[in-house]
Amino acid sequence: MIRVRYILPFVLLLAVVFTGCQKLTEDPKGNLTPGTYFKSVSDLDAAVAAIYLQYSVDAAYANISAVTPCFGSDDLGTVSFSNKQGFLVFDQLNATPDVPDNRLSNAWQGPWTAIYQANNVLANYQQVNATDEVKNQYAGQAYFLRAFGYYMLVRTFGPLPLINAPLDVDARPQRDPVDKIYEQIVSDLKTAADYLPDNFPGAPGRANKLSAQSLLAEVYLTMAGYPLQQTANYALAAAQSDAVIKSGKYSLVPDYAKVFTTNNNTESVFALQFNVAGNLPQRLYGSSCMPQDEVPLSGPAGWNDFYPEINFFLNAPVCARTEATFYDTLKIRVGTTNNYNLVPWNSNATLSHHPFYKKFRAGVGDGIVETPTSIISAGPSTNKSLDIIRYPMVLLNYAEASAMAANAPTAEGYAAVNQVRRRAGLPDLAQGLTLTAFRDSVVKERAYEFAGEFGIRWYDIVRLHLLPQILATRSAEEAPIPDAIKNNPAALEQRYLAPIPLQEMLRNPQWEQNDGY
């Protein structure tokens, strides 16, 4: 099912040291078996650190490639030239199992690698000579990280093999139904919440109890929508979010723009850590979202990987958050001089005729370095942590879930969404909204609060079945979607799931490909 090298325990194990920034170092125990490896707390620490590492490498969530299947959303688009074909076919809802450039394989392999590492930890952590409290804190992180992997996979690919123990290299398990995968995710996150402390002082990047509760709330909210439609989970999502809110451990960063230029700030509930010097760069910021026709004074041109769709940008609310989110005036260098022309995004002088994302440019000072009228340098490798769960997600999950559970907006739900709106520079939502109008307002708030972030918008489109509405507002300037998909409700329905990568289908001939592929 997964390449053999990912099934063998502890092959090429790398340790991440959780002090200040995570640093990548070789672990000499990397080729030992679990029976001889799990002896001390430092062994266990290295094994758990290796799970985080699997999510942080280039083949996982260190770049936009990991969210390739999410390009069907309106906050992600790409060009039809260069090496973007893997993104483009999803943008056009016309992907195949053999998507080029390993784009689809990255979305599949990254979580599976982490799941297998977590299974090794959970099968062996009791061997360590330590108190149950210490061992459980490490096991709790493994449960959380396994749940996260399954959550990313099940929303993207649907039915999956449910593997919760080390697997023989020759095993070829069947795909299990989606509800069974979610049962495992919920169980893992409940266990993680029981085992983990509220925080790990001085150790940014480690999942804690509140991380587990926040992710569990998001999972419950998803389970209430497509495909399970288990609406009783709205109340459970609200309860988990409310517990995190009432903990008082997190708060919104007053300036939205600074969320994207600081690491592990007050609203970061769970974030993957990166370290360029340790050969663990984050590549979502900087060159990736920079137009190809922008050339810095020092360094190569932008990569032009992704941008928002035109009407998503045009329909954004007028506020400080929108100003900090979008980049609508390109700096085009005049030949080889030090001068730049400031060019509107929709000018014929631009290659893409699209706005870009401003919030992913700077990183922590190591992405794009620029002035209002020039670009000094740009690089693809940054130390910016990648926020998987930010506190506004907790607030907006609570607002939506509490309203849906009560069958009407609640005062507490209004207060939660209005916290996010006030930080954005928007007025409070109007009182007296119907349930549908309130829910739609919260979903729109999520769209612009998390624009371009980690597929959040796409998974909202999936759970609420919003593709018809999204396509109805799609600009004719975007890459065309084939009529056989766009005008065929049955074909459109099939696009909520990605195809299983071709190489995985070849390894598992007993599997059936997802419908429509």
Phi, psi of 426 (to 5 degrees): -110, 155
Burial 282-301 (b: 16+ CB within 10 A, else e): bbbbbbbbbbbbbbbbebeb
Distance CA 415, CA 395 (A): 9
pLDDT tens for each residue of 91-106: 999 999 999 888 999 9
Specify burial of residue 226 (Cβ count, 10 A radius: 0-12, 13-18, 19+). middle
Measure Cα distances from 174 to 270, 392, 515 in Å.
32, 38, 17
The pLDDT value given to residue 36: 62
Decide: 356 and 331 in contact? Cβ < 8 Å. Answer: no
Inter-residue contact 10 to 47 (CB < 8 Å):
yes
Structure tokens at 92: 């056009």
Cite the beta strand spans of 210-321 per DSSP E.
268-272
What the block records as the tokens of 148 is 């996260």
Within 10 A of 167 (CB to CB), how many other CB atoms are there?
17
- As a whole number of angstroms, the distance between CA 170 and CA 502 comes to 19
CATH class of the region 1-196+480-517: mainly alpha
Find all residues with CB under 8 Å of 148, minimum gap 6, and list them: 55, 111, 114, 215, 388
For the chain, give every domain's residue range.
1-196+480-517, 286-382
Residue 82's pLDDT is: 83
pLDDT for residue 34: 59
Backbone angles phi, psi at 368, to 5 degrees: -100, 125
Contact 344, 329 (CB under 8 A): yes
pLDDT given at position 508: 95
Low-confidence ranges of the chain (pLDDT < 50): 1-32
SS3 353: coil
pLDDT digits (tens, 9 = 90+) for 257-267: 999 999 999 99
Query: In angstroms, rounded to a whole number, what is the distance separating the alpha carbons of residues 479 and 67?
Result: 18
**Helix 41-56 crosses helix 103-124 at what angle (to 10 degrees)?**
170
* Torsion, CA 100, CA 287, CA 110, CA 238, rounded to 10: -120
pLDDT digits (tens, 9 = 90+) for 161-179: 999 999 887 788 999 999 9
Residue 41 has a pLDDT of: 95
Q: What is the pLDDT of residue 25?
A: 31
